[in-house]
Every structure is written in C-alpha cells, then in structure tokens.
C-alpha cells in the first residue's frame, strides 16, 4: 500500500504514492457498501480476518476508543482528538490523495460520524471535498467523494435527520457534471469517464429513496436540474439507465403512500407539503425532457413508463399536472405513437384515472378514441405497445392484433341496424369527429415514404375504415367530411398528375396492396350520380390500371387491386349493388382504354383493358353476371379485335367474346338480344365507311352460340351493305356480299 502503514501516527494523510491493483480493490463500489464497511469497523468487534489491512484494523481500534469516549461522556478528549485529525488535512494534502486514498480518508470520517458528532463531521468532510478541483484528471476522485456524500446521507436518514445540506452540495456538483457531459459529447474517452461518475449519482439517489420511509427529509433535492440536463443530452441507449432508476423512485414514493394505511401525502402527518415539493421537482426537472424525447420517432418506449409514473404521482398529489400530461398524449401530433400506446395501456387500467378527465376535458372520450385510432393507423398491428393498449382497453387475447378492423365493422353494423334517421345522423357525426383529421397523420410519412411499415399499416387501417364506413364518412352536402381528403391525400395525390415527376415505387407498392379496400368503400356510395365519386373512380381506373400491369406484367401472379375490388361480384349469388358497381367500372375501363379514335387508331394501353376484363371474367362464378358484361363490352372488344395486328391479342379478344356470348345465350333474360344486337350494329356502323368487309369478317369470330344475336340483326346488316354500296356508287360489292353470305353460313351451320 502507498498510504502510510497503520502503525504510523493517526495524523497520516494516507496518501498513495503509487496505485497498485491490490490497492484499487480497497475502493468501495457503492455508498451502501462504503457505509456498511465503516459500520463494521466501528461496531466494536475485533477484526481477526487475515484479509483485513492494518488500516482497517486501526479503524476498528479507533471506533472502540471513540465509543468509550462517547459512553463516558468524555467530550473534551473527543474535541482534542477531532482537532488533531482535522488539523492534519489542508487543501494541498487533500488534492494529493488518490482515489484509494480518498476511500481511506472517507472511511476515517465516516467512522468518526458513526460514533461521534455526525453533523460536525459531515460538515467538515464536505468542506474537505470542496478542496478537490473538478477537472479531467480528478473524475475518479469525484466518484469517491460522491459515494462519501451519499453514505453520509444514508446515515442521516437512519437517524431521521434532514439531508438538505449534503443534498444541495451533491446536486449542484451533479448538475455541473451533466453540463460537462453535454459539452464534451465529441470526446468519447472523457464522456465515458463522466458517464461512470453519473452512474454513481443515479445509483446513490436510488439508494437514498430505497432507504427512505417517507420524503420529508429533503430527498426531493436530489431530483434537481442535473436530471433535466442529462435527459436532454443522453443518447438513445443511455436513456433507459437514467429513467429506470427514476421510475423506481417515483413508484416507491407512490407505493409508500398507499401501503399499510400509511399516507405519505396525508396532510395531518405533515408530509403532504414535502410530497408536493417532491412532485414539483419531478414535474419541473424530469417531465420536460421526457416530453421532448417522446417526440422522436426513435424514442425508447420506456419513456412511456416513466411518463405514466409521473402522471399517477400527479394524480395523487397535483391533479392539474396529470391533466397536462394526458392532454399532451391525447392531442399532440408529434408524440411517438408507440409511446402513446404504452402510456395509455398503463393509465386506462388505473381506477379513476379516466373518470377524473371528465371534469377537465368535456370531450375526453372522443379524444381517447381519436388517439386510439391514430395509434392503430400509425403503429404496426404486431407492435407490443398497440397490443397492450388493445388488451387494456378491450380485454382481448394476446394474439388479437386486428381489433381495429372489428371495431370499424361493428360501427357499420350498428349504423345499418339503426332505424331512426336522427340516430343515424348522430352516429355519423360522432364517427366523423373521431377520424376527421386522420389523413393529416399520414401526410408527413407520404413526403418521405418512410418508414414503410408505418405507411403500410396506415393504408391498411384507413383502407378498412373506408371499406366499412364510407357512407358515414361522406356526405355530399358537407364539404368538410373526411372521405374526400383521405382519397385526395392517400390515393390520388396531385403528384400523380405530374407526368415529369416519377412515382415512388414504395408508394405504388403500398397502393397495390391496399387500393382494393378504398375502391370497395367507394362502391358503397352513389357512384352513378355523385360527381366527386365519379371523378375519383375515373382517376383511379385511368392511373392504376396501367401502372400495376406495366410494373408487374400481364402474366404476373399478383392480383390487380382493381380486380380485387370487384370481388363482391365473383360469388355464386352476388348482391345487385356489387354487380352494378362492376358494370360501372367496366364502363370506365371501356371509356378510358377501349374506344377507337375517330382516325381509327387503337387507344393507348388497350391491352390492359383486355387483361383486366379477362381476369374479372375468369374469377366470376355466376354466368348471369358475365352475361351482363356482354352488353357493355361486346362492341369495344370486337373493335380491338378488328384493329389490332397481334395474333395473341386477337386470341384474347376471342376468348373474352366466347365467355361473354356463351353466358349471354344461356341467360337471355340478362343480356337481351336487342341490346347486344344494337351493340354489334354500333360496331359495324363505326367501320362501315372504311373496313366494313373486315368488320363483318370479325363477327365470324363470335362463337356459334351467338347465332341468336346474329340472326336477329341480319336484315340490318344487309341494309348497311346496301347503304355502303349506294355510298360508293359503283353497284354491288361482290366481295362484301360474299363475306356477308359467309357470315350467314357460319351461324346457320
């Protein structure tokens, strides 16, 4: 050892000239460890263990001697001894002490404090500690002095004495170190040393509160502005270390207040004022930086735990602060939604926590539902935080991750069951209020298309909302209803119409997965008469029919979202509204991609319309539904067949025509011969001046089951031929008439 041997005079400075591994082992790890060792030295028991150092044996002897002085009330001798010890230490000698030397020095004074005058010794020891300079070289020494001060505070608490004097000193020192921690952020070596020192304070503070029976001895001073500085400076991986101890401290205070009918906050006990001061310290120094950290999208979810503890402490002690936190979590757009979920999962299970909100937030139930929906929109369904909130709110199984979808469905079912129109309007207004700004929560993510999982979750939840509740979210007479904003923001944003700006593949991927939900919702509205719905459906068809087949290819195994959106018409007995919407979509497809130009040019992307038609028909089980398609599509499909040169495309046209004609002839009451015949005549009329012969030949591509349609219009075809010949003025066209007779022969055979 480099301190003077224990057999040398008592006034030794115990200065270490060299630091060895053996000597470093004598430094106590925590304040509790340090105090317990000194209690052992001062207990009056003789040290006989071989591993006891001569210095420790000396402390035992000193303790025995001091104990006899106290027991015999020999105060004069104590004063003389105290004077000799104090006089041997001055600034230079204190500064020369190493960390191990300070450990021995502190042990000496703790032994004096344990057996003699605690206040006098602690004041002197803190005075000596003040002589140590705060610099890069002395971080290890400061670690030892802080352990010493925490050990003194523990001793004060054992004797039920106020710790204000020592707490003020160490809190000020901690605040200064936290400032250094921020200033030297770019110096990893020094920052690491400071972090070890900070951990001494964090551990010591927790030990103080763990040892406290109440909070009436100025313990609140330890929750000072240093914590505020530290939480503002901490890196993400350091935050849990800081807040876990704080959470335990706050929880300990709360539990103490409720256990064994002993109320720390009881006014009659004289503790309420100190407890309120403790709460104020927490709310002033801990809440602001925690609140700010919660606004980061990478924030640690453990922040929600301490926020909940702060809220529940305020609920017991100062309710207005509880309302402040709740309003922040329910109304602030910037708070990380994972933290909101976890926070609310703690709060909603606490008795009276929500009931008390009614006195300060008249619409708190609406705010809670809005927040829950916002979380469901922006937090992945697999998130433990969201599942915890769902369980706390609805008592659902752990694996239940789609409760939001069931809620939307239940709302729609309730709306459908209501018979009173006034009740329907009230429910509609209530639901509208819940989701009126839902599109705004998604807008920031649409600007960066990150994170993808969040965007995908948002589209999934909002898409299902539109699918289930579109008729609650859209009222033509109310311009501020939420559905138009949702569609305009999420499905057809203005950027899609800028041809010079490429569309993000991330956006297209998410739309591909969820577009069918939105279109299915629009199908429940008045698409035949409402201009807004008509415009948006036309935009959707014109933009996305092409984009997805271009990106995936016509042979892709992926199902086109517009094909999926017509799923309601594929079953054995589809409802009339589903069939009607299918026909409307086919009308849009025909108008956009299947109309031959006045110059007889094929429209752009006409192949996509054929792929779409093929996929829809192939998925349709009910032949009556396919028969209804014939009246809409027979003319444009024949026109494409005539004008295109691709054999594969012509074959596709024939396949589509065969399926539709066979369905139409087997269900003549659906696709009437008059309507289909009129459509075929429109096809001939369109080409009678330029390609009448080829047009009539094209009719031969119809399946023979279409004989009923051809036979019905043969006189009209003959009349068209005569008009054509008259128009030419060159007499009968032999070739044309041969083609006509060939048509007759084809369908008469």
User: Which two tokens mark 175?
Assistant: 């605040």
Q: What's the average model confidence in pLDDT over 461-483?
A: 93
Q: How far apart are CA 281 and CA 283, in angstroms?
A: 6
Q: How far apart are CA 384 and CA 253, in angstroms?
A: 28
Phi/psi at 445 (5° precision): -75, -25
Q: How far apart are CA 569 and CA 584, in angstroms?
A: 12
393 pLDDT band, cuts 50/70/90, is low
Q: How far apart are CA 659 and CA 668, in angstroms?
A: 14
171-224 pLDDT, tens per residue?
A: 999 999 999 998 888 888 889 999 999 999 999 999 999 998 888 889 999 999
With residue 600 as reference, give the H or E element that holds it.
Answer: none
Cα 735 to chain centroid, rounded:
72
152: nearest Cα among 130, 116, 123? 123
486 pLDDT band, cuts 50/70/90, is very high
561: nearest Cα among 598, 601, 534, 521? 521
Q: Give CB contacts under 8 A, 24+ apart, made by 715-718.
A: 716/677, 716/681, 717/681, 717/684, 717/743
pTM, rounded to two decimals: 0.77
pLDDT at res. 257? 55
Q: What residues contact residue 20 under an 8 Å CB cut-off, 6+ apart? A: 1, 2
Q: How far apart are CA 475 and CA 477, in angstroms?
A: 5
User: Which two tokens mark 195?
Assistant: 């972090």
Residues in the chain: 749
Higher per-residue confidence, 315 vs 593:
593
**Statement: residue 231 has pLDDT above 90:** yes
**Statement: residue 595 has pLDDT above 70:** yes
pLDDT at res. 331? 86
Q: What residues contact residue 546 under an 8 Å CB cut-off, 6+ apart? A: 605, 608
Write b or e for each residue in 384-410: b if 16 or more Cβ atoms lie within 10 A of its Cβ, otherwise e.
Answer: ebbbbbbbbbeeeeeeebebbbebbee
Q: How far apart are CA 268 and CA 282, in angstroms?
A: 23
548: nearest Cα among 591, 519, 581? 519
In the block, tokens 């600007």 appear at 447
Please report, for residues 49, 104, 110, 556, the alpha-carbon distance to residue 52 in angstroms, rounded to integers and kept in the order given: 6, 13, 18, 81
Q: What's the average model confidence in pLDDT over 504-518?
A: 94
Lowest mean pLDDT of 255-259, 336-340, 601-605, 633-637, name the range. 255-259
Query: Which class for 71: exposed (0-12), middle (13-18), buried (19 or more C-beta within 10 A)?
Result: exposed
pLDDT at res. 552? 43
Q: What residues contact residue 388 under an 8 Å CB cut-off, 6+ apart? A: 341, 342, 345
Higher per-residue confidence, 565 vs 297:
565
Higher per-residue confidence, 70 vs 677:
677
Q: How much of the chain, in percent, has pLDDT values that exceed 90?
A: 50
487 pLDDT band, cuts 50/70/90, is very high
For the chain, give percent helix, strand, coil, nearest 5. 70, 0, 30
Q: How far apart are CA 412 and CA 464, in angstroms?
A: 11
557 pLDDT band, cuts 50/70/90, is low
Q: What's the average model confidence in pLDDT over 346-361?
A: 82
CB 196 within 8 A of CB 143: yes
With residue 604 as reference, give the H or E element that holds it.
Answer: none
pLDDT at res. 451? 87
CA angle 362, 368, 369 (to 5 degrees): 115
**Statement: residue 399 has pLDDT above 50:** no
pLDDT at res. 11? 32
45 pLDDT band, cuts 50/70/90, is low
pLDDT at res. 648? 94
User: Which two tokens mark 493?
Assistant: 């944003």
Report the mean per-residue pLDDT for the chain. Answer: 85
CB 222 within 8 A of CB 180: no
User: What sign for the dihedral angle of Cα 695, 700, 703, 707?
Assistant: positive
pLDDT at res. 129? 92
Q: What residues contact residue 288 under an 8 Å CB cut-off, 6+ apart? A: 228
47 pLDDT band, cuts 50/70/90, is very low
């Amino acid at each position: 050892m480099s301190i003077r041997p224990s057999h040398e005079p008592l006034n030794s400075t115990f200065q270490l000239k060299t630091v060895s591994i053996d000597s470093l082992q004598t430094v106590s790890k925590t304040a509790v460890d340090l105090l317990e060792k000194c209690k052992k030295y001062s207990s009056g028991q003789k040290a006989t263990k071989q591993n006891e150092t001569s210095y420790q044996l000396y402390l035992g002897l000193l303790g025995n001697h001091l104990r006899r002085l106290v027991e015999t009330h020999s105060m004069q001798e104590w004063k003389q001894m105290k004077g000799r010890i104090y006089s041997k230490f001055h600034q230079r000698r204190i500064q020369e002490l190493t960390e191990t030397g300070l450990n021995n020095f502190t042990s000496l004074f703790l032994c004096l404090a344990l057996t003699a005058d605690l206040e006098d010794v602690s004041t002197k020891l803190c005075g000596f500690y003040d002589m140590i300079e705060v610099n890069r070289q002395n971080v290890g020494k400061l670690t030892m002095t802080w352990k010493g001060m925490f050990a003194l505070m523990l001793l004060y608490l054992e004797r039920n004495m106020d710790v204000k004097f020592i707490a003020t000193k160490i809190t000020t020192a901690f605040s200064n170190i936290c400032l250094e921690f921020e200033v030297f952020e770019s110096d990893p070596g020094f920052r690491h040393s400071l972090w070890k020192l900070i951990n001494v304070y964090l551990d010591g503070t927790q030990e103080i509160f763990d040892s406290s029976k109440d909070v009436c001895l100025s313990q609140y001073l330890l929750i000072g502005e240093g914590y505020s500085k530290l939480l503002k400076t901490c890196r993400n991986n350091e935050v849990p270390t800081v807040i876990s101890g704080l959470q335990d401290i706050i929880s300990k205070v709360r539990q103490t207040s409720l256990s064994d009918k002993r109320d720390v906050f009881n006014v009659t006990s004289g503790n309420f004022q100190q407890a309120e001061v403790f709460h104020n310290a927490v709310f002033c120094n801990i809440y602001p930086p925690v609140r700010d950290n919660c606004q980061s999208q990478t924030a640690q979810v453990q922040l929600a735990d301490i926020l909940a503890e702060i809220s529940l402490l305020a609920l017991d002690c100062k309710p207005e602060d509880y309302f402040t936190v709740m309003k922040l979590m329910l109304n602030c757009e910037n708070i990380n939604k994972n933290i909101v979920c976890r926070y609310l999962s703690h709060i909603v299970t606490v008795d009276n926590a929500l009931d008390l909100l009614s006195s300060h937030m008249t619409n708190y139930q609406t705010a809670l539902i809005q927040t829950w929906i916002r979380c469901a929109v922006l937090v992945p369904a697999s998130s433990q935080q969201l599942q915890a909130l769902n369980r706390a709110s609805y008592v659902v199984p752990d694996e239940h991750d789609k409760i939001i979808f069931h809620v939307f469905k239940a709302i729609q079912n309730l709306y459908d069951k209501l018979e009173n129109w006034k009740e329907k309007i009230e429910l509609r207004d209530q639901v509208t209020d819940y989701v009126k700004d839902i599109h705004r929560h998604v807008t920031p993510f649409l600007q960066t298309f990150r994170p993808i999982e969040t965007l995908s979750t948002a589209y999934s939840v909002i898409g299902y909302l539109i699918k289930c509740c579109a008729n609650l979210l859209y009222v033509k007479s109310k311009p501020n209803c939420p559905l138009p904003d949702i569609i305009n923001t999420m499905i057809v944003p203005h950027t899609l119409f800028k041809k010079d700006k490429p569309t993000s593949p991330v956006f297209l991927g998410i739309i591909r997965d969820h577009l069918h939900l939105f279109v299915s919702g629009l199908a429940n509205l008045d698409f035949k008469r409402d201009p807004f719905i008509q415009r948006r459906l036309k935009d959707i068809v014109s933009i996305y029919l092409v984009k997805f087949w271009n990106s995936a290819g016509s042979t892709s195994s992926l199902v086109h979202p517009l094909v999926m959106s017509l799923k309601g018409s594929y079953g054995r007995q589809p409802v009339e509204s589903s069939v009607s919407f299918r026909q409307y979509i086919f009308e849009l497809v025909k108008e956009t991609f299947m109309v031959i130009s006045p110059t007889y040019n094929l429209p752009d992307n006409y192949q996509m319309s054929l792929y779409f038609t093929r996929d829809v028909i192939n998925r349709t089980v009910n032949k009556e539904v396919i028969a209804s398609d014939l009246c809409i599509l027979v003319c444009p499909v024949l026109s494409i067949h005539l004008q295109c040169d691709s054999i594969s495309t012509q074959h596709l046209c024939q396949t589509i025509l065969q399926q539709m004609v066979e369905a139409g002839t087997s269900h003549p009451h659906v696709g009437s011969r008059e309507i289909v015949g009129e459509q075929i005549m429109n096809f001939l009329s369109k080409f009678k001046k330029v390609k009448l012969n080829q047009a009539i030949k094209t009719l031969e591509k119809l399946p023979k089951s279409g004989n009923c349609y051809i036979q019905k219009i043969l006189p009209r075809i003959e009349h068209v031929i005569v008009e054509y010949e008259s128009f030419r003025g060159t007499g009968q066209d032999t070739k044309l008439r041969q083609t006509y007779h060939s048509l007759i022969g084809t369908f008469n055979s």
